[in-house]
C-alpha cells in the first residue's frame, strides 16, 4: 500500500524540503515511484526546480500550497519533485522532451509522464488560474488526465515521437570528427559574430555570463592572437563586473541579467557562476593588470568565505528572494542612502536616483563609470560601500541552499587554486584544499557522492563529479606540487571508467547502476557550466600530460573525436566540447627545474602567467640528474636550473632567464 502523504521531509535537498509542508503528496524520484504509478495506473506529474529559482517559488505558492490544486493532483497523479541540481541527468532528459514538444525550456519544469517515466506533455510555470497568457494549472491537470484516460492512442504516439527525439539528442550516435584547428577557428568566429561588441555578452536579452562561450573567445586569442576575440572577452567580463549583475557591496555575480545592459539581475547567486568568474578574472588581470579584475576576485572570494562555507565545503546558491520579494535584500531606495557629503560622489558613480533605475528602486552599478577613477575617489567610494554593506547586513537575508555539489565544488576548488597561485594567496589555495578534502572524505567504497548535506550523501555520483575533482586535484597539484593530488586524480579516473564508461568507449552522465533513468545521457550538453563530456576530455588530457601517459592522451583524443562527431550539428549548446577538444591540438607542458618551488624566478614567472592550455611541473634541481620530459622521447641531463616548454611531442631548447621564459609564455602582446 502506498502512503497518502508528502514524503519529502527527510530528503537531503533543501529544495525538496521546501516542499515538505505542501498538501501535495510529493514523492522523491525513485524506482518506488514508478512502481506506485504502475500499480495505481496513474500518470506521473514531475516537477523539477531548484532552491534559488524565483518562478519555482511563485508556482509553489500559487499551486502547490493551495488545497484545491493539491487535492486534484493527489487524486489524478503520482506527484514527484526533483531538484535539478541533484539530478541533472533527470532534468536533461525531460528538458529535452519539452524541447521536442516545441516549447521553450525553463524552471520550474512541469512534465507529465507515463508510469514507465516516458514523457507525453509538459510546460514550465503555470498559475492556478489562467493569466499572463498561460493556461491555469487546474485546467491543465484536468485536461491531461482526460487525455490519459480517454485518448491513450494519441498519448502513446506522443510518447514514441518524444522518446525517439530525446534519445537521438542526448544519446546520439555519430561518426567521429577529427580534431582540426580550422573547425575550432570557424566556431570561434561564429561565436564572435554573435557578441554585443559595445556591452559584451551575446547580443540581446537576457544576458548570461555564458562561461563556455567566454572560453571559446579566450582560447582563440591564445591560439591565434585574435585581438578582437580577446577584447570581446575583456569587454564582456568588465561590463558584467561593473553592472548590476555584480553585487558591489558584498561581492559575487548573479546568475544572469534580464535586460541587455547587465543592469537588472535575476538575483540568485550560484556557486558555479562565481567559480568561473574567478578563473576568467584571473586571466583578465594577468593580461591587462587592470586592478578591477584583482579587486573583483578578492571581493568574490570574500563573499565565498563569508557566506558560502559549510563544514569546509561550499554551499550551492543564495536565493533570489527574501521576505517574499525578488531582489529585496540587494536593492535600495534613494532615501536609504545616508545623506552625508561623502555619498554625493557615490550616488553619481553608482547610479542612485530619486526615481530609481528599476521599478522605483536602485540597483547599484557602475555602468556609467566603468573605469577606475582617481585613487582618492576610489578610496572614498570604498568607505561608502563599507557603510552601506553594514546597513544591509541588518536586512533579512535570502535563503541559502546548503547542499554541497561535488562537481560545483570541484569547479570552485580549481578556481581558488589557480587564483591563489597567480596572486600569491596561499590562503585561497588552502580554502580550496579544505573543500577538496571535505568532498573527498565523503566518498564510500571509493565512490564520490553527487551531493552532501550534513550527514546525508546522494549516491551514485555523476561523471561530471569525477571529472571536476580530477581537474581540481591537478590544479591543487600545480599550486602546491604535492604528489598525493596526482594519486587522487588517478583514482577518480578509475572510478569514472568503472561506473560511467559505456560499451562504445564513451561516457554517460549517470552511473551504470543508476536504475531510475529511461536514458543514460551522454553528458554533452553545456548548461551554465561546461558539459560533463568536456570536463572529462580536459581532465584526461591534463592527467596524461602530468604523468606522461600517452595511452591516456590517445584515449582523450578518441573521446574528443567521438564527441565532436555527435555535437557538430548542435554546437552552440555544446561549446564546452569544442573548447576541451581544442586543447588536444598542441598540449603545453612546462617543466621548471629549480632548487626551490616557491622562491625561484622561473617558477614565480610560471605562477604569474596563467594559461588554461598549459600544465606546469616543478622538479627539484639536482645537478647531473637525468630527467625524461616527454614519455618515450629520451632523457635529458640537467646541469643548470632551467625551464623546458614542450608543445605536443616537441620540447623547445631550455631557457635559463625570466626574459627568455616570458617570451615563450607570452607570444602575443
268-279: pLDDT as tens digits? 999 999 999 999
Residue 62 to residue 411: CA distance in whole angstroms: 36
Distances from the Cα of 621 to the Cα of 74, 588, 595, 616, 664, angstroms: 71, 21, 5, 15, 21
Question: What integer pLDDT is reported at residue 630 of this predicted model?
Answer: 62
Identify whether the C-beta of residue 634 lies closer than 8 Å to the C-beta of residue 579.
no
571 has a pLDDT exceeding 70: no
Would 647 be classed as within a structural domain? yes
Residues 43 and 107 in one domain: yes
Among 616, 620, 604, 624, CA closest to 645: 616
545 has a pLDDT exceeding 80: yes
Exposed/middle/buried for residue 67 (C-beta within 10 Å: 0-12, 13-18, 19+): exposed
Would 627 be classed as within a structural domain? yes
Would 428 be classed as within a structural domain? no
More confident of the two residues 633 and 166: 166
Within a 10 A sphere around the Cβ of 433, how many other Cβ atoms?
22
479-499: pLDDT as tens digits? 999 999 999 999 999 999 999
Residue 453 to residue 400: CA distance in whole angstroms: 12
Residues 280 and 369 in one domain: yes
Which of the residue ranges 101-105, 277-281, 633-637 has the most confident prediction, judged by mean pLDDT? 277-281
Question: What integer pLDDT is reported at residue 113 of this predicted model?
Answer: 95
Cell of 222: 591564445
The band of 519, judged by pLDDT with boundaries at 50, 70 and 90, is confident
Domain boundary among 384, 402, 420: 402
Identify whether the C-beta of residue 236 lies closer than 8 Å to the C-beta of residue 200.
yes
Would 358 be classed as within a structural domain? yes
Residue 550 to residue 4: CA distance in whole angstroms: 57
- 287-311: burial string, b at 16+ Cβ within 10 Å, e else: beeeebbbbbbbbbbebbeebbbbe
335 has a pLDDT exceeding 70: yes
Average pLDDT over residues 564-571: 82
The band of 1, judged by pLDDT with boundaries at 50, 70 and 90, is low
- The rounded mean pLDDT for the chain is 93
Residue 256 to residue 242: CA distance in whole angstroms: 14
631 has a pLDDT exceeding 70: no
More confident of the two residues 547 and 102: 547
Residues 264 and 392 in one domain: yes
Would 92 be classed as within a structural domain? yes
More confident of the two residues 4 and 420: 420
Would 293 be classed as within a structural domain? yes
Residues 244 and 108 in one domain: no
Domain span at residue 316 reads 201-402
Would 561 be classed as within a structural domain? no
Give the CATH number, domain containing residue 86. Answer: 3.40.30.10
Domain boundary among 170, 191, 221: 170
The band of 532, judged by pLDDT with boundaries at 50, 70 and 90, is very high
Residues 162 and 224 in one domain: no
Q: What is the value of pTM for the model shown?
A: 0.94
Residues 227 and 372 in one domain: yes
633 has a pLDDT exceeding 60: no
569 has a pLDDT exceeding 80: no
Identify whether the C-beta of residue 286 lies closer than 8 Å to the C-beta of residue 411.
no
Question: What integer pLDDT is reported at residue 639 of this predicted model?
Answer: 86
Residues 154 and 213 in one domain: no
162 has a pLDDT exceeding 90: no
Residues 278 and 335 in one domain: yes
Average pLDDT over residues 450-463: 94
393 has a pLDDT exceeding 90: yes
**Range with the lowest mean pLDDT among 341-350, 393-402, 659-668?**
659-668
Residue 492 to residue 490: CA distance in whole angstroms: 6
Residues 164 and 218 in one domain: no
173-204: pLDDT as tens digits? 778 899 999 999 999 999 999 999 999 999 99
Average pLDDT over residues 90-96: 92
Residues 157 and 237 in one domain: no
Domain boundary among 369, 402, 435: 402
The band of 467, judged by pLDDT with boundaries at 50, 70 and 90, is very high
Question: What integer pLDDT is reported at residue 669 of this predicted model?
Answer: 58
Structural domain count of the chain: 3
**Range with the lowest mean pLDDT among 167-171, 271-275, 555-559, 595-599?**
167-171
More confident of the two residues 131 and 604: 604
The answer to whether the Cα torsion of 122, 124, 129, 130 is positive or negative is negative
564 has a pLDDT exceeding 90: yes
Residues 280 and 358 in one domain: yes
Average pLDDT over residues 343-372: 95
Residue 202 to residue 191: CA distance in whole angstroms: 8
Would 641 be classed as within a structural domain? yes
234 has a pLDDT exceeding 90: yes
Question: What integer pLDDT is reported at residue 132 of this predicted model?
Answer: 77
The band of 159, judged by pLDDT with boundaries at 50, 70 and 90, is confident
Residues 166 and 205 in one domain: no
Residue 26 phi/psi, 5-degree rounding, is -70, 145
Residue 410 to residue 473: CA distance in whole angstroms: 8
Amino acid at each position: 500500500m502506498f502512503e497518502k502523504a508528502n514524503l519529502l521531509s527527510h530528503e537531503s535537498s533543501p529544495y525538496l524540503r521546501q516542499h515538505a509542508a505542501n498538501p501535495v503528496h510529493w514523492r522523491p524520484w525513485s524506482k518506488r515511484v514508478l512502481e506506485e504509478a504502475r500499480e495505481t495506473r496513474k500518470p506521473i506529474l514531475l516537477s523539477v526546480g531548484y532552491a534559488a529559482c524565483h518562478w519555482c517559488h511563485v508556482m509553489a505558492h500559487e499551486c502547490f500550497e493551495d488545497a484545491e490544486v493539491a487535492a486534484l493532483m493527489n487524486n489524478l497523479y503520482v506527484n514527484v519533485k526533483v531538484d535539478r541540481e541533484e539530478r541533472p541527468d533527470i532534468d536533461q532528459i525531460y528538458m529535452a522532451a519539452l524541447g521536442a514538444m516545441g516549447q521553450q525550456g525553463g524552471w520550474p519544469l512541469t512534465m507529465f509522464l507515463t508510469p514507465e517515466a516516458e514523457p507525453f506533455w509538459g510546460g514550465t510555470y503555470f498559475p492556478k488560474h489562467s493569466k499572463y497568457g498561460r493556461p491555469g494549472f487546474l485546467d491543465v491537470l484536468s485536461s491531461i488526465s482526460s487525455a490519459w484516460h480517454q485518448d491513450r492512442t494519441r498519448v502513446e504516439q506522443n510518447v514514441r515521437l518524444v522518446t525517439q527525439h530525446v534519445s537521438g539528442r542526448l544519446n546520439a550516435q555519430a561518426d567521429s570528427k577529427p580534431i582540426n584547428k580550422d573547425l575550432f577557428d570557424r566556431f570561434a568566429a561564429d561565436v564572435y559574430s554573435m557578441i554585443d561588441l559595445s556591452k559584451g555578452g551575446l547580443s540581446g536579452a537576457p544576458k548570461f555570463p555564458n562561461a563556455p562561450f567566454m572560453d571559446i573567445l579566450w582560447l582563440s586569442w591564445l591560439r591565434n592572437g585574435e585581438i578582437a576575440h580577446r577584447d570581446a572577452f575583456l569587454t564582456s567580463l568588465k561590463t558584467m563586473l561593473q553592472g548590476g549583475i555584480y553585487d558591489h557591496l558584498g561581492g559575487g555575480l548573479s546568475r544572469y541579467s534580464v535586460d541587455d545592459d547587465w543592469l537588472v539581475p535575476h538575483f540568485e547567486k550560484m556557486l558555479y557562476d562565481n567559480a568561473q568568474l574567478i578563473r576568467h578574472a584571473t586571466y583578465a588581470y594577468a593580461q591587462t593588470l587592470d586592478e578591477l579584475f584583482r579587486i573583483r576576485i578578492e571581493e568574490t572570494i570574500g563573499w565565498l568565505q563569508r557566506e558560502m562555507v559549510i563544514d569546509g565545503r561550499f554551499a550551492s546558491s543564495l536565493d533570489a528572494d527574501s521576505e517574499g520579494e525578488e531582489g529585496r535584500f540587494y536593492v535600495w531606495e534613494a532615501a536609504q542612502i545616508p545623506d552625508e557629503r561623502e555619498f554625493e560622489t557615490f550616488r553619481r558613480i553608482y547610479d542612485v536616483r530619486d526615481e530609481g533605475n528599476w521599478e522605483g528602486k536602485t540597483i547599484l552599478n557602475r555602468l556609467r563609470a566603468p573605469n577606475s577613477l582617481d585613487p582618492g575617489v576610489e578610496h572614498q567610494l570604498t568607505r561608502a560601500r563599507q557603510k552601506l554593506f553594514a546597513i544591509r547586513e541588518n536586512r533579512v537575508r535570502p535563503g541559502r541552499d546548503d547542499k554541497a555539489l561535488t562537481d560545483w565544488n570541484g569547479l570552485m576548488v580549481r578556481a581558488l587554486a589557480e587564483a591563489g597561485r597567480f596572486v600569491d594567496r596561499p590562503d585561497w589555495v588552502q580554502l580550496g584544499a579544505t573543500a577538496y578534502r571535505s568532498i573527498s572524505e565523503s566518498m564510500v567504497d571509493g565512490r564520490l557522492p553527487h551531493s552532501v548535506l550534513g550527514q546525508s550523501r546522494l549516491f551514485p555520483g555523476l561523471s561530471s563529479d569525477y571529472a571536476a575533482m580530477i581537474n581540481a586535484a591537478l590544479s591543487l597539484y600545480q599550486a602546491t606540487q604535492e604528489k598525493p593530488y596526482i594519486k587522487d586524480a588517478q583514482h577518480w579516473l578509475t572510478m569514472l571508467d568503472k561506473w560511467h564508461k559505456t560499451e562504445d568507449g564513451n561516457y554517460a552522465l549517470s552511473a551504470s547502476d543508476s536504475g531510475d533513468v529511461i536514458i543514460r545521457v551522454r553528458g554533452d550538453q553545456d548548461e551554465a557550466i561546461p558539459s560533463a563530456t568536456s570536463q572529462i576530455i580536459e581532465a584526461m588530457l591534463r592527467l596524461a600530460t602530468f604523468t606522461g601517459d600517452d595511452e591516456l592522451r590517445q584515449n582523450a583524443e578518441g573521446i574528443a573525436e567521438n564527441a565532436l562527431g555527435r555535437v557538430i550539428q548542435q554546437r552552440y549548446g555544446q561549446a564546452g566540447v569544442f573548447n576541451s577538444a581544442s586543447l588536444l591540438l598542441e598540449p603545453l607542458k612546462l617543466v621548471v627545474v629549480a632548487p626551490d618551488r616557491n622562491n625561484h624566478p622561473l617558477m614565480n614567472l610560471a605562477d604569474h602567467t596563467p594559461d588554461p592550455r598549459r600544465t606546469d611541473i616543478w622538479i627539484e634541481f639536482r645537478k647531473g640528474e637525468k630527467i625524461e620530459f616527454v614519455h618515450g622521447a629520451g632523457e635529458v641531463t640537467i646541469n643548470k636550473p632551467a625551464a623546458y616548454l614542450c608543445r605536443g611531442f616537441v620540447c623547445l631548447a631550455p631557457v635559463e632567464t625570466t626574459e627568455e621564459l616570458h617570451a615563450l609564455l607570452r607570444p602575443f602582446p
